[in-house]
Chains A and B, each alone.
Chain A
């Protein structure tokens, strides 16, 4: 019997599970995949979510969620940089800037508005990355925005690279080995000499920690950042990998790979969740449930995870009260011990989807633990 069972293995679900586990509750997580945050760079943008006025309770609440998240990611070995009210322009593979409040340290570049020389380094044979294209477009963008950073392109051979084209994921698998990273650092020396920053496609390993990446930068002799490629995008996958490991370490039980078929309701109380495991369904009893199944409902799962909801999620999202409990058409709570987090809430802007995921995930996790008697620890 779980105290809290989280449905959904994306950013909202993982944050909720970690937040609930931190209270001392016994937590389980059921999910079918990493969600869309793992496809990108893992950036978090609070644009549009920030309430007016610093120091207001609402901002404090956001700040608490962010502090929880950054502490969690640092503990997981994939630390984030940034600040709630700030904004950093991060370069992308289409030569645009993506604004972010927080980002994994490997993609958190120095402020491009300030003077600097950046070498965008391409890797021969790597599919879907062209340093010249990116540098040319970024230079134009920087000019337009009045930024002082200058970009130029370099090309290197991947140590041990073959003649076949490879993906960023292939390269990352190779870069898990410290020796490969050492060789890559050596290959980057010439590009690093004339630059204040080297930007690489995201290839520096999925299991590597922030510490490993720091050591890599030291070996290159110049700060090194990554740029998320087209999916599979290594920076996002890296965060996903580390957070899963972290959840296991903190005692969260993972039930991955099987969709949820039903939430068993006893009037307004959810008693268990059934997983569509091969052969026969598996019942997971739980005292409280967090639903974080994402924006798009799986086929064969009308309503969120089997709770019959009186509206079309694709259009409306789920309506919730301030405690994130789902409401029916009449505005009454559907289940007293169920909480909802992440993009399933609807009305969301994809630009700040990750920010909404960690804020609501954190709150739903804490609320779910609280309803079964565990209180958040500072």
Chain B
């Protein structure tokens, strides 16, 4: 029988963070993800690395966690972070008393919040509303959830862990009140199997309740859906927060080449319910326009929704097994109902993923009798290459291509450069919006990749393919051919990949009610519907 020591369920930032923490402490582990890495909440947020300012007034403990983690991650996860800095802005109509209490709270928690003069603030962010009254600089930053999750998984795999994407745990086997292992099914190949283990860690995020029930236990996860919109370029160079009681659409983040504005909050029953509601886009734009009026004229590329998995304790007030009450919860099933070998970690936010992983892994190690301490606050996720590697890249790739490849790949840049040196055709640009070369895509498709992309949509999460203004219409076809040409997919499979990819890209665009992107979507539908006769127009039914 196949065996490992720990099974981690859930390939988001938390799950991969736990996998890496375990690997760093020498504990063998396998991670199962039902879709792809960062498919869930870790890939569906605004990309903000919180300074904690947002929580300072209401939840000092959460705010303190944020600023501590913010400081740590800027050191160890710099490969996935752009340290843009952030601003809290008070506008004419905002309550001045809130600003004062916010300042006091920041000071108490230890969040540096330096006041800028109105003029300084407008010089730094000319697009801010003229009704700006006061502005404060905070250490917010932008963090790439896709890259972060991937980097954690890659690092863990390098140290001997395993990651199985598109592999659903169908049942957690429990015998005599003790977890024995997991039954799983590969959703792409259809292969099924059983993996024995001593401990299962449930990091399923919005799906944590489902995971728990597969072990015959019960965890209450409240799904709270937030909608966000993406603009086709950066509208500000800093994160901009509205300095008032936290509410809807008061954060604008310059996330890589785009800006993301959000969010809303709608309770939903189903973690798969990722719709953007009617009128939500207009609602978000109208609120965002209070801070940055030009959002009304900016091009919206797509709208999307993510689910915040919020933990709620049992209604009877039983808090047994809960180690932490702030923001996230760690649930030891043994303390709840005596089932040995199942830990669940629920709630939290991406900014504190490392801390959640640390606390969870600490408990796991205690149970397994492993004495090693956590080092994720010291060991960098990736060692960034030296400038000479970039200079080498610029010999074979144009400056912008080299730079964007470097930003995405970090140390992986060398492999791409090597491929292009051996075969100049590898420098072909497959995605013009994000400047992705054939070589880069092949790196992710190859069987030697640490966590290979299995679908065209995976390539999108690995590289940002199709996330620019064309939304995959032109690059999707070429990327599909790369998969076919490398032998990853047969002609038939490649065609299916393309259909699924294009429909997925349409999904977010159809929520955009006006502007250039509706024309772009019209072109895409005409092209794949009428001209190529691949996808039935209108209803999106496959041919």
Chain A residues engaging chain B, CB cutoff 8 angstroms: 36, 39-41, 43, 45, 92-99, 125, 127-128, 130, 132-133, 136-137, 140, 163-165, 228, 230-231, 295-296, 299, 314, 349-351, 353
Contacts and interface: CB of A to CB of B under 8 A. Distances in A.
A165 B432 CA distance: 13
Contacts of B484: 130, 133
B527 A165 contact: no
Interface string B395-433: 000000000000000000000000000001101111000
A211 B538 CA distance: 38
A34 B430 CA distance: 25
A118 to B, nearest CB: 16
A350 B424 contact: no
* Residue among A92, A99, A130 with most chain B CB within 10 A: A130
22 contacts: A36-B526, A39-B523, A39-B531, A40-B530, A40-B531, A93-B532, A96-B534, A97-B533, A98-B532, A99-B533, A128-B474, A128-B478, A132-B491, A140-B491, A165-B425, A230-B478, A230-B527, A231-B527, A296-B519, A299-B514, A350-B525, A350-B529
A351 B526 CA distance: 8
Contact of A94 (B485, B498, B523, B526): B498
B477 A92 contact: no
A169 to B, nearest CB: 12
Contacts of A136: 491
Nearest to A36: B526
Given A93-B477, A97-B533, A350-B526, 15 more contacts: A39-B523, A41-B531, A45-B530, A93-B532, A94-B498, A94-B533, A96-B534, A127-B478, A128-B478, A128-B481, A136-B491, A164-B424, A299-B514, A350-B537, A353-B530
A249 B59 CA distance: 74
Contact of A128 (B477, B527, B538): B477
B123 interface: no
Contact of A133 (B491, B514, B516): B491
Contacts of A39: 523, 526-527, 531
B492 interface: yes
A100 to B, nearest CB: 10
A94 B534 contact: yes
Contact of A95 (B424, B495, B516, B518): B495
Interface in B467-513: 474, 477-478, 481, 484-485, 491-492, 494-495, 498, 513
B533 A98 contact: yes
B531 A92 contact: yes
A295 B522 contact: yes
Contacts of B474: 128, 230-231
A119 to B, nearest CB: 17
A165 B491 contact: no
A40 B527 CA distance: 7
B481 A137 contact: no
A40 B424 CA distance: 30
Given A92-B533, A296-B518, A353 B485 contact: no
Contact of B531 (A43, A95, A133): A43
A137 B531 contact: no
Contacts of B526: 36, 39-40, 350, 353
